[in-house]
Amino acid sequence: AQSVTQLGSHVSVSEGALVLLRCNYSSSVPPYLFWYVQYPNQGLQLLLKYTSAATLVKGINGFEAEFKKSETSFHLTKPSAHMSDAAEYFCAVSKPGEYGNKLVFGAGTILRVKS
């Protein structure tokens, strides 16, 4: 079975500082990996995805993530935090070719950006 662990339920950074949100996965086969963002009272929005092509994936709003197979990690980074980045971030994994496209989510990390 696939699973996702997000280290740190809350992360706080200063505006302009580096954002690092950690995600480790467990999968029996090379997975698809995703980061979603949820703003208050809104649905989830896809930030970026990894699909076994380039290991460094660029997403929207300046975010990127690097797939590291040896570390089973897919950490999300952004060089300079902006106030508008404050939200909850979810890492998710799915199994390529699995009928039904089931996404397994981590528990989420709330990002707080201080001015």
Q: Of 94, 100, 89, whose CA–CA distance to 26 is shortest? A: 94
Please say which residue, 17 or 110, places its beta carbon nearer to another protein.
Answer: 110
Query: What are φ and ψ of residue 76, in 5° steps?
Result: -100, 135
Closest to another protein by CB, 70 or 99: 99
Stretch that binds another protein, among 10-18, 64-72, 73-81, 92-100 (CB under 8 A): 92-100
Q: Closest Cα to residue 37, out of 90, 73, 110, 86?
A: 90
Binding flags for another protein, 18-57, as an x/- string (CB under 8 A) = --------------x-x-x----xxxxxx--x-x------
Say whether residue 96 binds another protein (CB under 8 A): yes
Q: Which of 31, 27, 26, 62 is nearest to 47 (CA)?
A: 62
- Minimum distance between the CB of residue 115 and another protein, rounded to whole angstroms? 25
Look up residue 29 and give its two tokens: 């086969």
Query: CA dist 99 to 1, 66, 75, Å?
Result: 14, 26, 27
Binding site for another protein (CB under 8 A): 32, 34, 36, 41-46, 49, 51, 88, 90, 94, 96, 99-105, 107-108
